[in-house]
Amino acid sequence: MNTIVCLKQVPDTETLIKIAGTTIAAEGIKWVINPYDEFAVEEAIRQKEKMGAGAVTIVSLGPDRAIESIRTALAMGADNAVHINDSGFYDKADPYATAAVLAAAIKGLDFNAIFLGKQAIDDDSGQVPAMLGEMLGIPAVTQVIKFEVAADKSKATVTREIEGGHMVVEVPLPAVFSAQKGLNEPRYASLPGIMKAKKKPVDVKNAAGLGVSDGPMIVIKEMSLPPARQAGKIITGDDAKVKAAALAKALHEEVKII
């Protein structure tokens, strides 16, 4: 089973965001694989291991720094990678442009499935999986929490999360699958894995070379931080009962929520 994993490098969830014009300040950011893409990498590797054959190809759009996350995925067990190293394109790319350049890089590759996270935790758009499916002309199944492929690789049976429950669907391959938390538990890269990753092939491309010139269709006009929250009142009292009574009273009388 040959799979492709689209991967984005994003700031770690513990990052405090600072604004710089219409983007964020780059200082002090720890860059990591988008957590939802980690599930995608893990699932692709598991499918390869289960089938006992095939290759996992990482495709990532990002600047120079993205190579570290690509190497991490290779260290986890992916086999090779395409790095669309194009900061000019990347800096302005909206989900449509991102999907277009990923689709261009993927076209011509031999694959049964594409995995990627259900959204990147930086811009939180969650659009690339569905758009990628459209652009490649194959089905996209989003929010996947369970994935099983038929022995002949002709189809997959997947469980996807829906509001208030889940849905089981059957889909012919190839198809795009977006990973939701719960799909699996991503592994850590092992030391031998990290050593091997250094020698795995990474094909470097750019948007123009892939024939993609789509400008962004979403333009950021302004960025801001949310208003800072102030510490409120600490409720005091002799014991938990007294405090609970004071809290209930405040919620009832001051903010009138209960």
Partner 1 sequence: MPGTLIYAEVQKGEIKKGAFEITSKAKEFGGDVSVCIIGKGVEAIAPQLAKYGADKIYVVDGPEFENYVTETFVQALTQVAQQLQPSVILASASAQGKDLMPAVAARLKVGAVSDCVEIKKEGDKIIAKRPLYAGKAYAVVEAVGTPQVISVRPNALGFKEIAGAGAVEKAAVSIDAGKVKVAVKEVVIAASTEPDQTEAEIIVSGGRGMKGPENYKMLEDLAKLFGPTATTGASRAAVDAGWRDHAFQVGQTGKTVSPNLYIAAGISGAIQHMAGMGTSKVIVAINKDPEAPIFTKADYGVVDDLFNVIPALIEEVKKIKG
Q: Residue 121 or 189: which CB sits closer to partner 1?
A: 121
Q: In the bound complex, what is the minimum distance in angstroms from residue 182's beta carbon to partner 1?
A: 5
User: Of 56, 58, 72, whose CA–CA distance to 12 is shortest?
Assistant: 72
Q: Which is nearer to partner 1, 55 or 182 (CB)?
A: 182
Shortest Å, Cβ 38 to partner 1: 10
Using the minimum distance from each CB to partner 1, give the nearer residue, 74 or 93: 93
Residue 94 DSSP SS3:
coil
Q: How near is the Cβ of 63 to partner 1 at its closest, in Å?
A: 18
- Least separation in angstroms between residue 137's CB and partner 1 is 10
Q: Which is nearer to partner 1, 192 or 232 (CB)?
A: 232
3-class SS at 128?
helix
Output b/e per residue, 120-152; b: 16+ Cβ within 10 A.
bbebeebbbbbbbbebbebbbbbbbbbbebeee
Residues 6+ apart with CB under 8 A from 239: none
The nearer residue to partner 1, 53 or 255, going by C-beta atoms, is 255
Which of 81, 3, 110 minimizes the C-alpha distance to 49?
3
Q: C-beta of 202: minimal distance to partner 1 in Å?
A: 27
In angstroms, the CA 65 to CA 31 distance is: 8
Q: Cβ neighbours of residue 48 under 8 Å, at least 6 residues apart?
A: 1, 3, 54, 55, 56, 77
- Nearer to partner 1 among residue 14 and residue 64 (C-beta): 14
Least distance (Å) from partner 1 to the CB of residue 80?
A: 27
Please give the Cα distance from 246 to 258 (Å, whole number): 13
